[in-house]
């Protein structure tokens, strides 16, 4: 008996629902281990470099990040041979148009390249790569065990949730991240496998890293008198989020126009090296800086050549404001230059820096606000604006810091930041590009169904065909053994020219005297609209609604005929997809 036969026999005795629950635990453990391994690799590379590379005047900041980016670039081009950047966005695309299939190499490739990128000082975060890794683990395990598309999607979400829970030791944040950002139409019944994954991943993280929160800190009790300052900070953080998202996407577009990857690497590595040389706080993830800010430790300029700015109170404010502004550029340069990392960590970093700057400004203006509290709340506010996920931001920051005593300012500031951002920007940094291409799944079930439906799968080529220069006799021959309602009319190169409605020419079919007299062009009609094979389903539906047609032809980019899509088939497929995403049988 083969392994596949043994595998099939084992699965026969376990229902798919129970398979999903068992596998959600397996995926959670694997995602948790992946998160632990990634943090170990990053820390190990940092320790090796810190112990072996020490150049005068901190010149290693000019060199090491570029070296890490180059190694990552070479791995991507010659070993992995795939684009694995923007991990969260890639997961969203896999769900919306890839049947939740993620290539097996993503179970290790994102971890490998991101650990090298960050370990060498790349100014990005490890969270997006680990989300991609966890999602790949869930997707591939689901496919191995023959789960349905919907349950593979749930397991993909379990992997992503487990990855977030494992790297932050924050199980609730993992669930919220998946349900709010990744899987918009996941039903509440899917909570059980998600919870199993996040709890198991968190336990794995506890075993290896202990139960202390990632950013443990001592905070000042919340004061009602500081509410106006939190509201002001929420508004400013909203505009800061717009800067973060807009600058990132704009700079990515500009750098993307450089088609030669090595020229792009040279430009980005030089720029990144200079930025880190001027602002050492940008080296790596920057979580050490966050810990210092949250615990009120020394925030001097390190060994920066701009350290003289630390000599005055307003100089400190200006220095860290520049750190905030430049961080976005450094993050984008790291990814565009060949490195692999995410925006999740930089979002937290920028939020903490902005919170620190605002608190110092308030205090210099005569107020007396707790700086550490504003640093923590700033992290949540920036995440709420950039990711447009306030609930995820609130509970993630509370979990990773133990700062539940600041729940009111966390909620208040995150809500104001999110609301401010939404006035000017409808989409998050993860979803904006996908929305522009029409592949975004949303909480709107109608829109989600249209996004998931595939135009090509609805095409039917059962209809007879005649050539444009043919006669009525050719039409009769084409339909005599066929009950199709229409006949496609093509030119000599197979390109669609029109169609013949059999019902409309029925009175000619018994006129044998016209068989060799009446030409096809005399009885054919022009299609009211034509559908292309790769057209978005929302556009297809609009064409049916606008024309009132019962069926429309489908052609390729050269107008070669592929078949017809009928309104009845479209509605049946829509109903089936709606039932699938609305199913609660878990």
Q: Strands of 403-482 (E only): list them.
A: 465-467
pLDDT digits (tens, 9 = 90+) for 216-226: 888 888 899 99
pLDDT at 376: 95
User: Which structure tokens are listed for 387?
Assistant: 């990711």
Residues 6 or more apart from 320 whose CB is under 8 A from it?
Answer: 299, 353, 356, 357, 360
Question: Given pLDDT bands bounded at 50, 70 and 90, which one contains residue 2?
Answer: low
Mean pLDDT for the stretch of residues 576-583: 59
Mean pLDDT for the stretch of residues 487-501: 87
Higher pLDDT, 447 or 210: 210
Higher pLDDT, 499 or 6: 499
Of 449, 439, 456, 445, the C-alpha closest to 576 is: 449
Torsion of CA 443, 448, 449, 453, to 10 degrees: -170
SS3 assignment, position 306: coil
Question: Given pLDDT bands bounded at 50, 70 and 90, which one contains residue 585?
Answer: very low
Q: For the stretch 375-405, what's the b/e string if a residue is b when 16 or more beta carbons lie within 10 angstroms of its beta carbon? A: bbbbbbbbbbbbbbbbbbbbbbbbbbbebee
The DSSP code for 221 is P
Around Cβ 47, how many Cβ atoms within 10 Å? 11
Residues 6 or more apart from 318 whose CB is under 8 A from it?
Answer: 309
Highest mean pLDDT out of 140-149, 363-372, 447-456, 556-565: 363-372
Higher pLDDT, 514 or 7: 514
Higher pLDDT, 391 or 82: 391
pLDDT digits (tens, 9 = 90+) for 320-346: 999 999 999 999 999 999 999 888 899
Contact 328, 247 (CB under 8 A): yes
Least confident range from 113-127, 433-447, 541-555: namely 433-447
Residues 6 or more apart from 546 whose CB is under 8 A from it?
Answer: 529
Residue with tokens 């919220």: 176
Higher pLDDT, 158 or 51: 158
Around Cβ 457, how many Cβ atoms within 10 Å? 9
pLDDT at 162: 94
User: Does residue 229 surpass a pLDDT of 60?
Assistant: yes
Contact 564, 460 (CB under 8 A): yes
Question: Given pLDDT bands bounded at 50, 70 and 90, which one contains residue 98?
Answer: low
Structural domains of the chain, with CATH: 3-209 (1.10.3080.10), 224-443 (1.10.3080.10), 450-582 (3.10.580.10)
Average pLDDT taken over every residue of the chain: 85
Around Cβ 332, how many Cβ atoms within 10 Å? 25
Mean pLDDT for the stretch of residues 118-142: 92
User: Does residue 301 surpass a pLDDT of 90?
Assistant: no
Higher pLDDT, 31 or 100: 31
Question: Given pLDDT bands bounded at 50, 70 and 90, which one contains residue 94?
Answer: confident
Edge-first strand order for the sheet with 531-532 is 531-532, 551-555, 561-566
Contact 286, 277 (CB under 8 A): no
Least confident range from 253-257, 387-391, 535-539, 563-567: namely 535-539
User: Which structure tokens are listed for 507?
Assistant: 């009175």
Contact 401, 213 (CB under 8 A): yes
Mean pLDDT for the stretch of residues 43-49: 91
Of 119, 76, 109, 130, the C-alpha closest to 336 is: 76
pLDDT digits (tens, 9 = 90+) for 174-209: 998 888 887 756 666 678 899 999 999 999 999 999
User: Which structure tokens are listed for 476?
Assistant: 């009769």
pLDDT at 586: 42
Identify any residues that bridge with 551 across adjacent strands, giving them in sequence order: 566
User: Does residue 579 surpass a pLDDT of 70?
Assistant: no
pLDDT at 259: 87
């Amino acid at each position: 008996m083969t392994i596949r036969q043994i595998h099939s026999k084992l699965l026969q005795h376990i229902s798919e629902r129970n398979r999903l629950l068992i596998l959600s635990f397996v995926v959670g453990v694997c995602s948790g281990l992946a998160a632990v391994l990634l943090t170990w690799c990053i820390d190990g590379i940092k320790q090796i470099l810190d112990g072996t590379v020490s150049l005068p005047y901190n010149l290693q900041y000019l060199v090491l990040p570029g070296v890490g980016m180059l190694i990552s670039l070479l791995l991507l081009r010659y070993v992995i041979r795939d684009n694995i950047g923007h991990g969260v966005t890639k997961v969203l695309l896999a769900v919306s148009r890839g049947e939740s299939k993620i290539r097996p190499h993503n179970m290790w490739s994102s971890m490998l390249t991101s650990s090298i990128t960050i370990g060498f000082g790349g100014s990005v975060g490890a969270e997006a790569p680990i989300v991609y890794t966890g999602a790949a683990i869930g997707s591939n395990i689901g496919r191995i065990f023959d789960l349905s598309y919907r349950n593979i999607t749930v397991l993909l979400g379990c992997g992503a949730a487990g990855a977030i829970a494992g790297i932050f030791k924050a199980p609730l944040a993992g669930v919220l991240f998946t349900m709010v950002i990744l899987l918009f139409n996941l039903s509440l019944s899917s909570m059980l496998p998600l919870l199993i994954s996040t709890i198991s991943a968190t336990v794995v993280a506890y075993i290896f890293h202990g139960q202390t929160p990632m950013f443990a800190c001592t905070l000042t009790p919340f004061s009602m008198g500081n509410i106006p300052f939190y509201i002001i900070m929420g508004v400013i953080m909203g505009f800061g989020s717009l800067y973060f998202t807009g600058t990132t996407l704009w700079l990515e577009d500009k750098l993307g126009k450089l088609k030669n990857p090595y020229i792009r690497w040279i430009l980005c590595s030089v720029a990144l090296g200079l930025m880190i040389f001027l602002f050492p706080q940008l080296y790596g993830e920057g979580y050490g800086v966050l810990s210092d800010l949250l615990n009120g430790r020394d925030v001097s300029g390190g060994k920066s050549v701009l350290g003289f700015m630390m000599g005055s109170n307003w100089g400190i404010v200006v220095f860290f404001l520049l750190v905030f502004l430049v961080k976005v550029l450094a993050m984008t340069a790291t990814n565009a230059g060949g490195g692999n990392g995410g925006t999740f960590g930089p979002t937290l970093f920028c939020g903490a820096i902005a919170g620190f700057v605002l608190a110092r400004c308030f205090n210099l203006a005569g107020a007396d606000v707790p700086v550490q509290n504003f640093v923590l709340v700033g992290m949540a506010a920036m995440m709420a604006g950039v990711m447009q996920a306030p609930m995820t931001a609130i509970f993630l920051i509370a979990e990773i810091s133990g700062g539940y005593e600041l729940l009111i300012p966390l909620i208040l500031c995150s809500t104001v930041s999110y609301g401010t951002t939404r006035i000017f920007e409808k989409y998050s940094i993860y979803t904006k590009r996908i929305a522009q291409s029409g592949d975004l799944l949303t909480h709107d079930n109608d829109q989600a169904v249209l996004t998931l439906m595939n135009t090509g799968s609805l095409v039917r080529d059962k209809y007879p065909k005649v050539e444009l220069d043919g006669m009525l006799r050719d039409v009769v021959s084409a339909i005599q053994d066929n009950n199709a309602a229409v006949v496609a009319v093509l030119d000599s190169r197979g390109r669609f020219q029109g169609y013949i409605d059999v019902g409309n020419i029925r009175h000619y079919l018994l006129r044998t005297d016209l068989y060799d007299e009446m030409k096809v062009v005399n009885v054919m009609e022009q299609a009211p609209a034509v559908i292309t094979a790769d057209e978005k389903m929302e556009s297809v539906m609009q064409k049916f609604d606008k024309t009132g047609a019962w069926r429309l032809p489908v052609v390729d980019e050269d107008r070669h005929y592929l078949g017809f899509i009928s309104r009845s088939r479209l509605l049946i497929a829509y109903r089936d997809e709606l039932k699938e995403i609305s199913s609660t049988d878990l």
